[in-house]
A and B are shown apart, each in its own frame.
Chain A
Amino acid sequence: MKYLSLIWAQLFRSKTRTALTLLSVVAAFLLFGMLDSVRVAFNSGGSVEGANRLVVASRLSITQSLPVNLLPQIQSIPGVRKVTYAMWFGGIYQDPKNFFPNFSVAPNFFDVYSEYEVPPEQLKAFQDTRTGAAVGEALAKKFGWKLGDTIPLQATIFPRGGSNDWPLQLKAIFRAKDRNNVGAENQLMMNWKYFDESNDYIKSQVSWYTVQLADASQASRVARAIDALSANSDHETKSQSESAFQQAFAKQFADIGLIVTSIMGAVFFTLLLLTGNTMAQAVRERVPELAVLKTLGFKDGTVLVLVMVESMLLVTLGGLVGLGLAAVIMPGVAAASGGMIALPKVPTQTWLVGLGLMLAIGVVVGLLPALRAKRLKIVDALAGR
C-alpha cells in the first residue's frame, strides 16, 4: 500500500499513452457491460414475482389452445394458490408496425401478476365494463391514450361478426412496480369473457394458464400433477416455471450467449495485445529508472509486483469506468425512449465477471514486462546495454 503513490506516478509517467490505453479499455468494458447485461437478462427471464409461478401451455405447440374447463381441475390440485388464464389476441393498432402484445385475460389476472400496480377503482371499472381494456402506462403515453378513450383495435386472427373491428374502452392504466421493467408496460389486456362471447371462431379456449404456487419449492410436483390431468388427451399440457418458459421462448430468437461470447472474445483478444504493447513500452522506457530503484535497495520481487500492480491498476481503472458508463447509459436510453427500448441495468453478476476479467487481463498483460523488470541486471541497465 505504501508504494501506491509510486505506482500512480509510474502509471501517469506518459500521460498521452496511459490516457489512450485507458480509453481503449473503457470502450472494451463498456461493450462488455452492455452485451453481458443483455445476455443475463435474456437468459434469466422473468421477475422475482415470477419465481413462484408456473405457466401451463399446450404441449403440442405454442399456437395450440387449451379448454377453459381445465380451470377447476387445476385449482383443486394441492399446492396451487391461484390460477388465472389468458388468450392471445394478436390485434393491431392502426398499423402492423405499432406492435404490442395484447390478449384477453381472466378477471383475477392482476391478482396473480402482482408486479403490476392498478388503482383499485380503475381495476373495478375494467372488470365491470364488458368492452373494457387495461394498458400499461408506457403504451398509453406512446399513443396518447387517456382513461375513457376508445381504442380501435383491429383483429388479425379473430373477427367479430365478420368484421375485424374490436373497439375497446380504456378503463385502467397499470404501472410496473419495478421501474427497470418498464418494457412490460407495452401491453394491452381485454376481458376474456367479452372475447369468448364475441369472436367468430373459438369458444371456451385459452392460450395459457398461470398458476401461483403456495410454495415455490413444490413447483415440479405441482407441474407434474397438472400435466397428469390431461395426459393422453388431445390437449396435453406442459407446465414449467415462468422463467423457464420465457427463456425457452427467448432462446428461439437467437443464441445470445454464443453471439456475446464471440464478440467479446474478439474484443478482449485485441485488448490484450493493445495493453500488452503499452506495458511493454512502459517498461522498456523505464529501464534506467527501474535500475535506480534496484540500486536503492528494492528487491527483484518488489519490482515485479510494482509492474504487475501497475498493469492491473491500468486495466481495472479503465474497466470500472467502462462498466460504470454502461450502468449509466443503459437505464438512460431506456428512460429516454419511454420504455420503447427496454434495456436491462447492469446486474451484479456482470460486475463480478467484469472484475474477474479486469484482474485476469491485468495479470496476463503485466506478466512479461514484470518478469523483464525483475530480471534486469543493475549494471547493464544503467549502462544502457
Chain B
Amino acid sequence: MNKQWLWNALSILALLVGLAIWIKLPWYGVLAVAVLLALWLLLTRSGRLALAAARIGIASLPQRWGASSVIVVGIAGVVGVLVAMLAMGEGFQATLNSTGDEVSTIVLRGGSQAETNSVVTRDQVPLVSALPGIAKGADGRPLVSPELSQVVNLPSKSDGTDVNAQFRGVGEQAWTVHDKIRITEGRKFKPGLREIVVGQGARGQFRGLDVGKTLRLGNQDWTVVGAFVSGDAHDSELWTDAETLGSTYNRSAYQSISVRNDGKAGVAAFKAAMAADPRLKLDVETTHDYYAKQGGGLNKLITILGTVIGAIMAIGAVFGALNTMYAAVAGRAREIATMRAIGFRGLPVVLAVMLETMLLALVGGVLGGLVAWAIFNGYSVSTLGNNFSQVVFQFKVSPELLWTGLKWALGIGLVGGLFPALRAARLPVTTALRDA
C-alpha cells in the first residue's frame, strides 16, 4: 500500500516536471520527441506490442463514442477559449506593430509619452522642418506633417452609446508622410473646408460615417468626402485638415509632427540634429517604436488572463478525461487482463491507454483550434488605446497560437491518460478475469 502511494506521488511529480518542460518545448523539440516515439513504437518489440494494444483500444472507440466525446469536446472547449483569448491580444499587438515603420519618425514634446499629452508650438514647426535627415517630396519640400488630434464622442454602431474616437488634423504632406494610406472611396478632403475622410475601421465601429453624410462635431457640420484604408492603427481615425480642426476647437498649437526620413541614416541624422538644437525640447521616436510601445500592456494582460482562464478550464477538462478513461479501463478490464495474461507487459499496456487518450486529445485540440479560427479569425473589435480613443483591431488566429493550443490539448491528454493507464497496468490479472 505504501509502495503504491510512493509510486503515485512520484508519478505526479514527474508529470508536473514533464508538463512544465512540454509547454516550454520548441517545435523541433516536439518533433524530436515524436520521431523518437514513432521509432520506438515501430522498431522495438515492446513498442510494437504497445501499438498492437493501442489498435485494439482505438478500434473499440466507436462503441464508447458518448464517453469519448466528453474528452474531445472538453479539450476542444479549453483550446477554443485559450486560442480566442490569445488571438485577441495578438491582433491588437499586430495592429500596433504594423503601424509606422523604421524610416519615419514622430516628434512629441519632451517627456510627454503619448500624443494626447504633447504640445508642439507653431514656431517649432519650421525649425524642425529645416533639420537634416528629412526626405524631400517631388516638389522639393520636406516631408513633414504637423498634426493635431482631438478625441471626439461618436455613437457606436453596436448600441449607439458614446465612445471616444480619434479626430486627426494633418498637414498638406500627410498623404506622402503616411505612405500606407490609400483612398478607397470618394476623394481627399480640401484644406480649409470642413471635410473629413474616415478610416475603414472607424466606419465599421461608429454610426453615420458613410461617404456623403454630414455629422456634427465641435458644434460644426462636417461632410464625409472619402474613406481610406491603411491596415494599421490609423484605420480607426477620422482625418481632416489640421488648420480647420485647430480653428474649430480653439487650439493654436499642434500636438505632434510626423516626419518621413531619408532611410535609417536619415533617422539617425534627424535625431542627432534634434538633440543638438537647444531651442527644441522635443522627443523623436520612429513611428514603429512609438506604436509598438502602446500595445505592450494590454497584450500582456490578455495573455495572462487567457492563460489563467485556460488553466482553470484545463483542470476541469483533466478531471473529465480522467473520469472517461477510468471508465474505459474499467469497462475493458477483462480484455486488458486477458492481454496481460497472454504476455503483454506493463509498459505496452500503459502506452496503449496513453496513446488512445492522446489521440482523443489531439482530435479535441484540432477541433477547438478550428472552431476558434472559423469564428474569430478576422473578427473586428475595438478597445480604448493610449490616446483615450478607440483602436479598432482584428482577432488574429496565427499558426503559432494553434500550435500552442495543440500543445495544451496534448498536455491535458497526457495527465488525463496517465493514471488510468497505470491502473490498467496494475490490474491484478486473476481478480480482473474472475470479476468481469
Contacts and interface: CB of A to CB of B under 8 A. Distances in A.
B323 A270 contact: no
Secondary structure of the A contact surface, majority rule: helix
A269 B73 contact: yes
Contact of A62 (B84, B151, B249, B381): B151
A104 to B, nearest CB: 15
A161 interface: no
B383 A252 contact: yes
Contact of A270 (B74, B109, B110, B383): B74
Contacts of A201: 119
A266 B81 contact: yes
A274 B320 contact: yes
Contacts of B388: 62-63
Chain B interface size band reads 35 or more
Contacts of A269: 73, 77
Interface string A9-49: 00000001100110110111011000100000000000000
A251 B390 CA distance: 11
B80 A266 contact: yes
Contacts of B292: none
Contacts of A35: 309
Contacts of B34: none
B153 A60 contact: yes
B74 A273 contact: yes
A269 B119 CA distance: 53
Interface in B307-348: 309, 312-313, 315-317, 319-320, 322-324, 326-327
Interface string B248-284: 0110000000000000000000000000000001000
Nearest to A28: B316
Task: Pick the most buried of B70, B73, B80, B320: most chain A CB atoms within 10 A of its CB.
Answer: B320
A154 B112 CA distance: 10
Contact of A27 (B281, B319, B390): B319
B381 A61 contact: no
A92 interface: yes
Given A20-B322, A96-B113, A252 B151 contact: no
Task: Pick the most buried of A90, A255, A266: most chain B CB atoms within 10 A of its CB.
Answer: A266
A234 B312 contact: no
A191 B276 CA distance: 37
A157 interface: yes
Given A27-B313, A278-B323, A273 B69 contact: yes
A281 interface: yes
Nearest to B387: A63
B422 interface: no
A263 interface: yes
Contacts of A159: 109
Interface stretch (B14-22, B156-164, B228-236): B156-164
Given A63-B151, A273-B74, A21 B384 contact: no
Contacts of A17: 323, 326-327
A96 B113 CA distance: 8
A90 to B, nearest CB: 6
Given A61-B164, A266-B77, A273-B69, A254 B327 contact: no
Interface in B80-108: 80-81, 84
Task: Pick the most buried of B116, B153, B161: most chain A CB atoms within 10 A of its CB.
Answer: B153
A156 interface: yes
A234 B218 CA distance: 8
A254 B383 CA distance: 6
A20 B319 contact: yes
Contacts of A234: 219, 250
A335 B349 CA distance: 48
Contacts of B313: 27, 31, 267
Contacts of B324: 277
Nearest to A274: B320
A270 B113 contact: no
Contacts of B117: 90, 156-157
Interface string A288-313: 00000000000000000000000000
A229 B151 CA distance: 23
Contacts of A274: 70, 74, 320, 323
A248 interface: yes
Contacts of B249: 60, 64
A63 B218 CA distance: 13
Nearest to A27: B316
B77 A270 contact: yes
A364 interface: no
A207 to B, nearest CB: 12
Interface string A96-119: 100000000000000000000000
Contact of B218 (A28, A30, A60, A232): A60
Given A20-B319, A156-B114, A270 B73 contact: yes
A61 B152 contact: yes
Task: Pick the most buried of B110, B281, B313: most chain A CB atoms within 10 A of its CB.
Answer: B313
Contacts of B309: 31, 35, 263
A201 B253 CA distance: 11
Contacts of B161: 248, 251
Contact of A156 (B70, B111, B250, B315): B111
Interface string A268-282: 011101100110110
Contacts of B390: 252
Contacts of B69: 273
Interface in A323-373: none
Interface in B28-80: 66-67, 69-70, 73-74, 77, 80
Contact of A281 (B114, B153, B327): B327
Contacts of A262: 84
B240 interface: no
A3 interface: no
B199 to A, nearest CB: 17
A288 to B, nearest CB: 16
Contacts of A263: 81, 309
A122 interface: no
Contacts of A164: 110-111
B284 to A, nearest CB: 17
A109 B409 CA distance: 54
A130 interface: no
A119 to B, nearest CB: 34
B191 to A, nearest CB: 23
B150 interface: yes
A262 B309 CA distance: 13
| Nearest 8 A/B pairs, CB to CB | A27-B316, A61-B151, A156-B117, A20-B323, A157-B117, A24-B319, A270-B77, A23-B319
Given A262-B84, A267-B313, 19 more contacts: A17-B326, A20-B326, A21-B323, A23-B316, A23-B319, A24-B317, A24-B320, A60-B152, A60-B249, A62-B388, A156-B117, A157-B112, A162-B281, A164-B111, A255-B381, A266-B81, A270-B74, A270-B316, A281-B67
24 contacts: A17-B326, A23-B316, A24-B319, A24-B320, A59-B153, A61-B150, A61-B151, A62-B151, A63-B151, A63-B388, A156-B114, A157-B116, A157-B117, A248-B162, A251-B161, A251-B163, A252-B383, A253-B383, A263-B81, A269-B73, A270-B316, A270-B320, A277-B67, A277-B323
